[in-house]
Structure 1
C-alpha cells in the first residue's frame, strides 16, 4: 500500500500533463506571441519547482522541515485539494477551447470567454493548477513544497499580469468591465 501513497501525486500530475499536451492540438493560430525570454524564464522556474517537489537530493536540510505533521490526514487533504484543482483547470481548459495557449498569445479570431469557470474567476486554469500544487504541498508536508508552490504562484502571477494587459488592449472596455466584476484567481477575493 505504500506504493500507492508514493505514486499517487506523480501519476496524477503526469496524467494531467499528458492530457494538457494532447489538448494543445487544434488551437487557433497565434496572431501575437509573447517574447521567448519570458517563456524561457517560466520554463526554468517550472523545472526548479519540479525538482523541489520530486527530489530529496538537494543538500539543504531546512527544505525537508515539516511545517505541519506528515501523515494520512495531510495526504488525503492534499489529494482532495489537488484533484479538485486539476478538475477545475480541466473544465476551464475545455471551456476555453481553441483560444487556449500555454504562452501568452492573442489568437486569430480570439474570443473573450466569460462563462463557465470564467464567470467564477478570470484565470481558472491558474486557479486550478495552483490548487493542485497547494494540495501537493500539503501532502508533502515539507518546506520545499511550499517554496515550489510560491515559485509557481509568482510565475503564474507574472504571466497573468501580461495576459491582463493584452486582453485589455484586445477587448478594451469589455475586458475592463469583466475584470472589475470577476476576481483574478480566488472568487470574491483576489
Structure 2
C-alpha cells in the first residue's frame, strides 16, 4: 500500500505531479493523518489480547464491542481508509497519491467479508446482534 507509491515517486518522472497545492491541504492532510493514526492505535488498544496480525481467532478470543468498537466493527480499516483518502494531499502526485486506494479497497472488502464470517461462526447471535447495532466502516453510514 505504501511501497508502490514510494517506489513510483523515486523512479518516475514528475509529469504526473499535481503541483504545489499550498500549505493548507498539507496541514489538513497531516492533521487528519495524525487523527487516523490515533484511531488505528486506539483500535489495537481496545482489542487488547484479541488482536492478531493474521485473521485468526484464539481459543480464549472474546468479542470486543467497547471503545471504538462500539461505533464501528472495523475501526482499523476506517483509519486506513482515512489515511488513503488524504494521501494525495501529502504526496502531490496523482498516481502515487491514489494508487493505494485501489489495492487497499480490494484487500479491504475481501478481508472484511472473511473476518465477519469467521466472527459469525465463533460468536453466532452475539455477533449478529453487535453487527445490527454498529456499522462496518463509517458510523451511521456503511
Q: TM-score, normalised by structure 2?
A: 0.87
* Unpaired runs of at least 5, structure 1: 1-45
**CA offset at residue 159 of structure 1?**
1.1
Report what 1:159 is aligned to.
Answer: 111
Structure 1 window deviating more from structure 2 (141-150 vs 160-169): it is 141-150
| CA RMSD after TM alignment | 2.1
The answer on 1:136 being equivalent to 2:67 is no
Partner of 2:124, secondary structure, is helix
Structure 1 window deviating more from structure 2 (153-162 vs 114-123): it is 153-162
Report what 2:57 is aligned to.
Answer: 106
**CA offset at residue 57 of structure 1?**
4.0
User: CA 1:93/1:85 → structure 2, altered by over 3 Å: closer, same or farther?
Assistant: same
User: CA 1:165/1:52 → structure 2, altered by over 3 Å: closer, same or farther?
Assistant: same
Return the match for 1:78 from 29, 45, 53.
Answer: 29
The answer on 1:189 being equivalent to 2:141 is yes
**CA offset at residue 81 of structure 1?**
1.1
Higher relative contact order (CA 8 A, sep 6+): 2
Q: TM-score, normalised by structure 1?
A: 0.67
Cα distance in 2 for residues equivalent to 1:54 and 1:131 = 22
Equivalent residues, number = 141
